[in-house]
Each structure stands twice: as C-alpha cells, then as structure tokens.
C-alpha cells in the first residue's frame, strides 16, 4: 500500500479534495480552475489527498496533474476513465500517487490486471463501486481503498441512502471512501458514522467562492446537535441557526417529549432519544440511555442501525458536575458531549473540550 491509502487511514474523517472544471452532469463548475493555485490551498485547508480530473470531458488533462504535483507534496489521485497500462504509466509520469478504476467499465480480469500493473508502477488504486454487485467484486479483488459513489454514472442521480448502506457493508479492514454528494457537514458525518474513512468532495468545492474555506467547513469539528425539538418550527429555527443534528426526545419521562421524529431537511441528521428501550422511528441515529432509578443514566451510546458509533457523555440526572469537561477532554474515541449547555460561555467551553 502506498502514500495515498496511508493518508486516508488515520483517525477521524479524511477529505479528498477534487479539482475539476466541469462535469457531464452539472456542466461548467469552475472553468478557470488552476490546479497550481488550488492544490496547495486545499492541502493547507486539511485535504488528506487531492483528486485531479485528467479527462477532457471534465475540462482536464495530464497537464493539470503535473501542475498540481509541482505545487504540492500532498498525495494525488489521477481521475478519469482508464483501461490500459499505458494510461497508468502516464499518470505515474505526471506525478500521481494513485489511479481511479471504475468497476462499471471493467470486468474482473481487466480490473485485476490494472491493479497489478498499478502496484508495479508504485501506484495505489481507488477501486470504485456504485452498487452491491460492484462492492462484492471490489472486495473479492482485494481492493483497498474502495470508493463507493453516491452518483450513478449512467443517470447521474445521487442516492446517499444506498451509498451509506454500501459503506456500512464494506469490510472494516479496508479503507473506504464515500464519493459524491457531500455538500454540508452532516453529509460527511453520515458517511463517517456509516463506516467511511474518507469523503471525496468535488462539485461542492468547485462551486464555492473559496474552495479551501468550503473544505475546511466540511471537515470541521465538533458538530452541533440541537435537542428537545417538539414542533416543526423548532426544526426550522435549528436548521437556520446551523445545526448539524436535530434531536427528538421520545422518552416517556420528559416534558419535552416530541410527538415523533419530525420531518427534517437532508442537510441535518435526525436523532431519536430514548431511555431504556427504543423503537424504529426512521431517524438517522438513536441516542439510547439506560434507565436507572426511574430516570436516565448519566451517559449513553449513539447508535446507527443498532451499532454503536459514539459515546455520549452527559451530566448526571438533574445535577451538575464541575469535572464534566475535564472528564470529556480525557475520553478516547468518538464522543458526543451533552448536558447543561445554556449560555455562550458554556458553549465555548464545551467546544474546546470536544476538540
């Protein structure tokens, strides 16, 4: 495995920033995009790697890859439609660290031959699937990393739900990249919680006035959850204020009990909060407390499809704890920090502890 894969395999969610001038589905995106300028700025903004379109249908060429290589040391993915070993050699010579292979366009024998040739050339391969059959093929071929595209390259339709199902099914011993359809922080968070190690973002960056700032926004943490919502207008206010997650308390012992999981835009993740037991609600996530002495437990777990994806560190029931933030700051793994966030000073303290 090479430096491209290694750059994506660390803790947290990695970002692959894509440079392209246009796309067949969206038309012109950034006709004047200059890889020599964008590449170092995106790397400085937190990109673990860069993807450069070298296909003329996207307004790209190998010269763009050469320009990016001259401008940054970040790992580079050459992206296009590759069928021959000579294609891979051209990418290597232009400075690429990895090549994209589309299983939609390759049978297993072709894909295996190209993966073998890439390895001999010192290139990683990002093997892309967009449905269950292609994911199964990628796994059997030994692909690592595996890309799972939310966009159907025939219809150009984005289906994040299917993508997340496939991400969740992918083997945990492979690096998994969620490609396409990442426009807001919640989209990246959804991919991460499903099991993705990285997201590949292109269109959202190229459409942004400042691509580097947009990338920083998408990768920034902590996320913000606004909980205790009981009315549609509450959801609207939370979304307008910039919430990434919206919470609906469905436990019977609270006066803030919601009538259910209310309709929310796809720019946020919905969270159903239960104590003791939970039921299917259609929420993206479940925040589940134990029931202790007739009340909720102090801490709980965050679940996605029944699988724990984070711990929730909360205050004791109806009590304060001066050591709450220090306790949270010392926690390992993915953590949601909750409890008593009622003023600006406390928000700042909680954000600092979460980071």
Cβ neighbours for 162, distance < 8 A, ≥ 6 positions apart: 131, 150
CATH number at residue 244: 3.20.20.70
**pLDDT tens per residue, range 285-325:** 999 999 988 889 999 999 999 999 999 998 888 788 888 88
Given a contact cutoff of 8 angstroms between Cβ atoms, the answer to whether 106 and 79 are in contact is no
Distance CA 64, CA 67 (A): 5
Q: Are residues 214 and 113 in the same domain?
A: yes
Q: Which of 219, 249, 276 is the last residue of a domain?
A: 219
Domain end call among 187, 219, 251 = 219
- Measured N-to-C along each axis, helices 185-194 and 211-219 cross at an angle, to the nearest 10 degrees, of 50
List per-block mean pLDDT (blocks of 10 residues) for the chain, which spans 355 residues: 91 96 88 96 98 92 97 97 96 98 97 98 97 97 97 82 96 96 96 97 96 97 92 95 95 87 96 93 96 89 95 87 84 84 68 66
pLDDT attached to residue 323: 83
CA separation (Å) from 42 to 21, 104, 281?
15, 29, 39
Write down the pLDDT at residue 234: 94
- Identify the three-state secondary structure at position 296: strand
Q: What is the sign of the dihedral through the CA atoms of 289, 290, 295 and 299?
A: negative
The pLDDT, as a whole number, for residue 266 is: 93
Query: How far is residue 61's CA from residue 161's CA, in Å, rounded to a whole number?
Result: 33
> According to the model, what pLDDT value does residue 353 have?
65
Same domain as 205, residue 306: no
Q: How far apart are the first and last CA of the chain?
A: 30
Say if residue 14 is in the same domain as residue 97.
yes
Tell me, yes or no, whether 112 and 175 share the same domain: yes
- At residue 318, the pLDDT reads 79
Active site residues: 18, 20, 79, 128, 149, 179-180
Asked if 287 and 300 touch (Cβ cutoff 8 Å), the reply is yes
- Alpha carbons 273 and 250: distance in angstroms, whole number: 6
What gap in Å lies between CA 32 and CA 21, rounded to an integer? 7
pTM: 0.93
| Pair 229, 325 in one domain | yes
Of 219, 253, 277, the domain-final residue: 219
Q: Same domain, yes or no, for 179 and 287?
A: no
- Domain check: are 207 and 348 in the same one? no
**What's the full length of the chain, in residues?**
355
Q: Are residues 294 and 202 in the same domain?
A: no
| Six token digits for residue 194 | 């499903």
Same domain (yes/no): 235, 152: no
Which pLDDT score is estimated for 355? 61
If asked whether residues 177 and 263 sit together in one domain, one would say no
How many domains does the chain contain in total?
2
**φ and ψ at 213, to 5 degrees?**
-65, -40
310: tokens are 């984070």
Q: Is the same domain home to 83 and 103? A: yes
Tell me the residue range of the domain where 184 lies: 3-219
Please give the structure tokens belonging to residue 290.
Answer: 């134990």
Q: Are residues 79 and 188 in the same domain?
A: yes
């Amino acid at each position: 495995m090479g430096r491209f894969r290694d750059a994506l395999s660390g803790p947290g969610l990695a970002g692959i920033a894509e440079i392209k001038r246009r796309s067949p589905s969206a038309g012109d995106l950034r006709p004047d995009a200059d890889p020599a300028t964008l590449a170092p700025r995106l790397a400085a903004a937190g990109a673990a790697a860069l993807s450069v379109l070298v296909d003329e249908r996207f307004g790209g060429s190998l010269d763009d890859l050469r320009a990016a290589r001259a401008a940054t040391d970040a790992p580079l993915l050459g992206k296009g439609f590759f069928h021959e070993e000579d294609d891979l050699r051209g990418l290597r010579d232009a400075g690429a660290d990895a090549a994209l292979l589309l299983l939609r366009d390759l049978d297993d024998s072709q894909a295996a031959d190209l993966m073998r040739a890439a390895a001999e050339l010192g290139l990683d391969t990002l093997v892309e699937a967009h449905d269950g059959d292609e994911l199964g093929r990628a796994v059997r071929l030994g692909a690592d990393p595996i890309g799972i595209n939310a966009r159907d390259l025939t219809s150009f339709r984005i289906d994040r739900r299917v993508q997340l199902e496939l991400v969740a099914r992918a083997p945990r011993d492979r690096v998994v990249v969620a490609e396409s359809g990442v426009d807001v922080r919640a989209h990246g968070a959804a991919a991460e919680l499903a099991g993705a190690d990285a997201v590949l973002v292109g269109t959202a960056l190229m459409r942004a006035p400042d691509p580097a700032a947009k990338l920083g926004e998408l990768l920034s943490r902590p996320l913000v959850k606004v909980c205790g919502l009981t009315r549609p207008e509450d959801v609207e206010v939370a979304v307008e204020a910039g919430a990434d997650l919206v919470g609906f308390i469905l436990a019977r012992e609270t006066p803030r009990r919601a009538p259910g999981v209310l309709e929310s835009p796809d720019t946020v993740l919905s969270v159903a909060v239960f104590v003791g037991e939970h039921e299917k609600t259609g929420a993206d996530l479940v925040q589940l407390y134990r029931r202790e002495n007739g009340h909720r437990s102090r801490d709980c777990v965050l679940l996605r499809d029944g699988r724990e994806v984070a711990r929730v560190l909360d205050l004791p029931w109806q009590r304060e704890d001066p050591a709450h933030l220090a306790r949270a700051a010392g926690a390992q793994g993915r953590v949601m920090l909750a409890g008593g966030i009622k003023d600006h000073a406390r928000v700042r303290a909680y954000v600092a502890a979460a980071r």
